[in-house]
């Protein structure tokens, strides 16, 4: 059973429908105890980073996710759920979980033809192998919608990159945590294959 963290950040039902499509049993919850004890966690979200962290703190979900990470629970972060695993975000000058050193930054693009938010399908280049990316051929097109991007300090945590004015980190990981700026639940068969792999992932990066 996969537990989807419900912190009023939206996109939960899309994630659950995608899990259903590949035969993954999942449930979303706001219960901090259930998250802390979960076998596997998907930490999704769309919205504003500061609002998300305020809700996570108020409900006890922040500490629950921290506890789950520390006990080795496999965790998949998506979109804001990925950005918040870093130490901080420029969106509302927000403190994140700090699971990975780095900062989430606002796109500042000099090219007038490039739009913010970055929205739509774009190629994802795998930079180093990971079990959740094993089915991805070179330059797999996946779906994005975001104005901020992840900027980890250590490139050893970068598993995939994407070009939008700059080349930015579109998937990062550390130990039992893997997080993507793209939306696997909206990315067709390759995104669904990643969710299916997460269902059997034991939390080790190789």
What is residue 110's predicted lDDT score, i.e. its pLDDT?
Answer: 80
- Let me know if domain 2-200 sits in CATH 3.40.1190.20: no
* 19 labelled catalytic: no
Marked catalytic residue, from 19, 79, 164, 169: 79
What is residue 190's predicted lDDT score, i.e. its pLDDT?
Answer: 93
* 127 labelled catalytic: no
What is residue 71's predicted lDDT score, i.e. its pLDDT?
Answer: 96
DSSP letter, residue 114: S
Q: Model-level pTM?
A: 0.95
Beta-bridged to residue 119, according to DSSP, are: 145
Q: Please state the domain extents for the chain.
A: 2-200
Marked catalytic residue, from 118, 146, 157, 183: 183
Residue by residue, DSSP assigns 62-110 as HHHHHHHHHTT--EEEETHHHHTTEEEETTTTEE---SEEEEEEE----
Can you say how many angstroms the Cα of residue 194 is from the centroid of all Cα atoms in its chain?
Answer: 12
Marked catalytic residue, from 19, 118, 146, 185: 185
* 183 labelled catalytic: yes
What is residue 156's predicted lDDT score, i.e. its pLDDT?
Answer: 96
pLDDT tens digit at each of 206 positions of the chain: 999 999 988 778 899 999 999 999 999 899 999 999 999 999 998 888 999 999 999 999 999 999 999 999 999 999 999 999 999 999 989 999 999 999 999 999 887 778 889 999 999 999 999 999 997 888 899 999 999 999 999 999 999 999 999 999 999 999 999 999 999 999 999 999 999 999 999 999 87
């Amino acid at each position: 059973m996969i537990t989807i963290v419900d912190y009023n950040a939206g996109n939960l039902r899309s994630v659950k429908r995608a899990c259903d499509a590949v035969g993954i049993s999942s449930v979303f919850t706001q219960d901090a105890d259930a998250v802390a004890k979960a076998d596997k966690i998907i930490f999704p979200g769309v919205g504003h980073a500061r609002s998300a962290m305020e809700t996570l703190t108020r409900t006890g979900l922040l500490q629950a996710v921290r506890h789950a990470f520390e006990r080795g629970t496999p965790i998949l972060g998506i979109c804001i759920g990925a950005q918040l695993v870093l130490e901080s975000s420029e969106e509302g000058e927000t403190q994140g979980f700090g699971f990975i050193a780095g900062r989430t930054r606002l796109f500042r693009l000099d090219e007038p033809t490039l739009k913010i938010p970055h929205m739509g399908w774009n190629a994802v280049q795998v930079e180093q192998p990971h079990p959740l990316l094993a089915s991805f051929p070179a330059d797999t097109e996946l779906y994005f919608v975001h104005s901020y991007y992840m900027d980890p300090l250590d490139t050893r945590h970068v598993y995939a990159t994407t070009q939008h004015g700059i080349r930015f980190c579109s998937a990062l990981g550390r130990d039992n945590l893997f997080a993507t700026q793209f939306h696997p639940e909206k990315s067709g068969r390759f995104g669904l294959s990643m969710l299916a792999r997460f269902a059997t992932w034991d939390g080790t990066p190789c």
